[in-house]
Amino acid sequence: MTRIARLGRFLLALACAASLSLAARPALAGKAEANDLRRQIDSQRSAVADLERLDETRKTAGETALLRSWLDEADAQHAKEKWDEVRTVLDRCVAQSELIRQKTIASKLGAQADERERAAKASKEKLDRTKRELADAQVNKKALEMNAK
């Protein structure tokens, strides 16, 4: 066999090996993508429990239920290997989680504002009562001074 023929066979074998290698990569990439999406779904599910724990007043129960249903939908799409749909649903879930966080924070801040308003009203009432008592005491003092003369 000539040197050129051996080189040709070598290049043909190399090309076959490269094409087989490239054909295997999408399968590996698909598996990695599937695993990554599975991890995202699982982490979102664990985040739901954290969000519920943070929402002490239960103001976001409806939003949390919607988030759980979307995660179930993501699971169903994952089982069907529809990766684009899974990504879309996961994006929706991330936005919903942020909405729940914001509503929870707003609820807590609203409760703090109400408490501070009640405290300010109580302080104002106490101040008004003290002013009235002081004015009454001054009137009584003047009356006693007038009687003493």
Domain count, the chain: 1
Alpha helices, DSSP H only, in the chain?
3-54, 61-79, 83-148
Tokens 């879930």 correspond to what residue? 93
In a domain? residue 144: yes
In a domain? residue 18: no
Closest to 52 (Cα-Cα) out of 68, 40, 39: 68
Q: Kindly list the averaged pLDDT for each block of 10 residues, start to end, along the chain of length 149.
A: 58 55 47 90 91 87 93 93 94 94 91 94 95 93 86
Tokens of 51: 């969000």
What does the longest C-alpha to C-alpha distance in the chain come to? 142
Q: So what's the pLDDT on residue 67?
A: 94
In a domain? residue 30: no
Cα–Cα distance list, 1 to 4, 7, 14 (Å) = 8, 10, 18
In a domain? residue 60: yes
In a domain? residue 133: yes
Q: So what's the pLDDT on residue 59?
A: 87
**CA 2, CA 114: separation in Å to the nearest integer?**
93
Residue 51 lies in domain: 35-148
